[in-house]
Amino acid sequence: MHIVLVEPEIPGNTGNIARLCAATGCELHLVKPLGFSIEDKYLKRAGLDYWHLVSVHVHENFAEVLQLYPGHNFYFNTTKARKRHSDIVYQADDLLVFGKETAGLPQQLLNKYPDNCVRIPMIEDARSLNLSNSVAVAVYEALRQQEFPGLR
């Protein structure tokens, strides 16, 4: 699986997601602009000593990610979707895409791929979950469906 963070802003969230990727074997894709340096101490602290287990790719823009993975399934995680994240049947090389903490994914991207937009259920008055929590929920649902390949 691939986790794509589009313009992440908070180093601690990205560090937590990197640690999740290390523990699950997912590849991490960071789409610029980033709200921090990859050398950021908070990013590294959140990932603890797992960085050697993470395959991290940094992309100039989202179009670059699309170009590198033609024919792959992209699922755009947003609070604005009708479909739940658990309604999807995930494949091993799917890309789970998440937006920045303050604004989510760009509306133009959501408009371009409406059938691939998914949401995590929550009460109506809740605006959203923390980014690293959302990624964990989505990743573990996708891996559960595949019977946790390579995990013990």
- The DSSP H or E segment spanning 56 is strand 56-59
Q: Do 118 and 75 touch, CB atoms closer than 8 A?
A: yes
- The DSSP H or E segment spanning 83 is strand 83-84
Extract the annotated binding site for S-adenosyl-L-methionine: 99, 120, 128
How many CB atoms within 10 Å of residue 26?
A: 22
CB proximity list for 87: less than 8 A, separation 6 or greater: 118
Extract the annotated binding site: 99, 120, 128
